[in-house]
A and B are shown apart, each in its own frame.
Chain A
Amino acid sequence: MIQVNDLVKSFSDFRAVDQISFSVQPGEIFAFLGPNGAGKTTTIKMLTTLLKPTSGTLAIDGLDIARHPNEVRKRFGIVFQDPSLDNELTALENMEIHGVLYGVPARVRTERTEKLLKLFELWDRRDSFVKTFSGGMKRRLEIARGFLHTPKILFLDEPTLGLDPQSRNQLWSHVKHVNETEGVTVFLTTHYMDEAEKVAQRIAIIDHGKIVAQGTTAELKEQTKTDSLEGAFLALTGTTIRDESANPGADQMRQFSQMWRR
């Protein structure tokens, strides 16, 4: 379902993704784990046509991404790590616009929107502007929106970031549900090893842009002679903390935009 060969992405002279290859089978739940800055989001951006690789090939459902971006976009859904909602619209309007862009028929759209907003406990706030939501509520809306259409592949980039335990449970059981009933292939990243262990059938561990290990949880544990996924992860990637590079541009822009809206 996903086929990646010798993928490289460089930002000026820094290699964020360094010659990785892997494949994900149809119907599989695949977890992509790695420390901060390992290159997970960059890989997902290339898989979802947002970023062009420096070299290497990517295929989704047998289609080369560089040559058929529009066809590829019809096959996946994504929940981004970073915010991607329109803050000036209501929750319902955000769902609506997503449904229209993804060609979900009006009736199905209304039905599913209600079901999903109820599932993620946003139904009572459906007519509130997203800018009035708490961080976790925004996150839940992003997730609900991601499930509005049924793609062949679902990319989840740290979907549980900032979610309470209830919502996390809800999310993973829903992920398992669509995987089992509709055969949706899932490609996910998370920093919670227990989540990966629970839902993922196969795991790849990436560090400094390189894949350092791949396999089932059992295989990874055996390979590192540890007794938990967390232990295996630490054994493979070391115990030093990675600095997350800050983005000074974004803050300034936010301030400016606030001024602008007055």
Chain B
Amino acid sequence: MSAIYAMWLREVKRYLRSRVQIVASLAQPTMYLLILGFGLGPVFQEAGKGSYIQFVAPGVVGMSILFSSIFSGVGLLFDRQFGFLKETLVAPVPRTNIMIGRTLGSATIACIQGTLVLTVCMLAGFRPVSWGQFPIALLFMLLIATVFAALGTAIGSVLKDMQGFQIIMNFLVMPIFFLSGALFPLTNLPAPLSVLTHMDPLSYGIDALRSQLISVTHFGAALDAAVLGACAVAFLALGTRLFSKIEI
């Protein structure tokens, strides 16, 4: 237990100390929000779908959680290169605990990041339809963060260098983002695209956020919760397995 807490605390401390990085990582979601939000707003409105800012804000929050949790999960790669990973791997605690602590730390960071982005969204004019559901939205954010932090740790456990990370970025993380319906509604898509969006865990995450924040949902919040929960368990199991097999 204390090992989990120690690893969690370490991740969070390191994050809170990197102020510049925190601000810098808000830039990308803000750009998506403002440029797409205001750029596509008129077309969206004309199509009779309402305000695009309202629609895209949960998507942008989901995006920032995705990127932030994957990045900090992959922070494992730096710990491997700078050596600190060894120190934790020889410690007399089950590697599962080390992995869980790291992953929860990454998930916490991603949640803070998501909350910051949500604040930026509100500054740009986004309004949740009901404040009552806000706490549930936060829980969904934590669930999304756990799913992708675990995936990040799993990936970080098998990668050995930065080249591998680029490949993962381009062929896994970006598709997860673009296929998630963060930027467009999931209705009336061509069949192949529709299939892909249904296979993307983030689709359910962003749908869940929309269900709580703007009362719009494609899958229904119950299915969203079930899929996210199952993914979290699966990725944690995978991450634990890969992490405990790390050799240095």
Contact = CB atoms under 8 A, between A and B. Distances in A.
A241 interface: no
Contacts of B13: 89, 93
B78 A253 contact: yes
B17 A254 contact: no
A45 B85 CA distance: 13
A52 B247 contact: yes
Is chain B's interface secondary structure helix, strand, loop, or mixed overall?
A: helix
Given A100-B2, A252-B162, A49 B90 contact: yes
A88 B14 CA distance: 7
Contacts of B78: 253, 257, 260
B82 interface: yes
A80 B83 CA distance: 9
A147 interface: no
Interface string B155-197: 0000011100000000000000000000000000000000000
Contacts of A222: none
B112 to A, nearest CB: 17
Interface stretch (A70-78, A199-207, A213-221): A70-78
A83 interface: yes
Contacts of A74: 92
Nearest to A145: B87
Contact of A89 (B14, B81, B90, B161): B14
B161 A102 contact: no
Contacts of A108: none
B92 A73 contact: yes
Contact of A86 (B2, B10, B24): B10
A82 B93 CA distance: 22
Interface in B74-101: 77-79, 81-84, 86-94
A8 to B, nearest CB: 15
A250 B77 CA distance: 11
Contacts of A253: 77-78, 81, 161-162
Contacts of B84: 84-86
Q: List 3 tightest A-B contacts by C-beta distance, closest first.
A: A101-B91, A74-B92, A84-B83
19 contacts: A45-B248, A49-B89, A50-B89, A51-B247, A74-B92, A75-B92, A80-B86, A84-B87, A86-B10, A88-B17, A89-B10, A97-B6, A98-B91, A102-B92, A250-B81, A252-B161, A254-B81, A257-B82, A262-B21
